[in-house]
Amino acid sequence: MSNLTEQQRRAYLDAMGIDLWLPRSAPDIDPPLEAPASGAESLDWDELKSCVESCTRCELHQSRTQTVFGVGNPDASWMIIGEAPGAEEDRRGEPFVGRAGKLLDEMLRAIGQARADVFIANILKCRPPNNRDPRVEEVGQCRQYLERQIALVKPSIILAVGRIAAQNLLGTDSPVGRLRGRRHSLGEVPLVVTYHPAYLLRSPSQKRKAWEDLSIARTIVAGAVG
């Protein structure tokens, strides 16, 4: 996902409701990718979960053990969005488990949040084989599920965790280092980018930067509540 084409970028921006700016000299390009068939926009939580569990929109359903819908408080102020399930998530059906999940829990506790207080979801609901990066078409087919989750939660803040989540949500190929440390928006919802806990386990010196990102997000939420 490090090299989005202009067509793919426009498709992501359009799907997320982000206005597209083009310079006057921009050349003509192909129309955006066709969105997946509608049907998730009016689903409640139970209906949406059932729809995800039976989904066969992309080839990932052939290799999954089970889908990873998301967990947490459906009325949460904080929504944490990661990239795609790994092997352990695929086995347990829950996002952010194992060592990375424990570190995420610690990060949340540092800002006064518990895992049960937030809602945690992923860009994809099925694990890509061998933990490879999600493909554009896979993200596109899962997109409406995530959009509906966001609409149902109505979070005060979205924390995009890791490169895959940040790039797909914001429709960019910029690295996390350039995206973190400031406020973005996904529609009307503020969004803050930070490093993935798995990366922080490999690079503990970056934990201070992750704390800065969490502090920015906490300040945004406090301002919204106040």
Q: Which residues pair with 185 in a beta bridge?
A: 190
Containing H/E element for 223?
Answer: helix 207-225
107-153 pLDDT tens trace: 999 999 999 999 999 999 999 999 999 999 999 999 999 999 999 99
| CB-based contact 160:193 (threshold 8 Å) | yes
Q: Of the CATH numbers 3.20.20.70, 3.10.129.10, 3.60.70.12, 3.40.470.10, which one belongs to the domain with range 6-18+43-225?
A: 3.40.470.10
Sequence spans of domains, the chain: 6-18+43-225
Per-residue pLDDT of the chain (226 residues; tens, 9 = 90+): 444 555 555 554 454 444 444 433 333 333 333 334 456 888 999 999 999 999 999 999 999 999 999 999 999 999 999 999 999 999 999 999 999 999 999 999 999 999 999 999 999 999 999 999 999 999 999 999 999 999 999 999 999 999 999 999 999 999 999 999 999 999 999 999 999 999 999 999 999 999 999 999 999 999 876 5
Residue 71, both tokens: 């967990």
* Helix or strand run (H / E) with residue 149: helix 136-153
Report the alpha-carbon distance of residue 4 to residue 10 in Å, rounded: 10
Residue of 124, 116, 95, 66 whose CA lies nearest to 198: 95
Instruction: Please identify which residue in the block is written with the tokens 């945690």.
Output: 120
The rounded mean pLDDT for the chain is 86
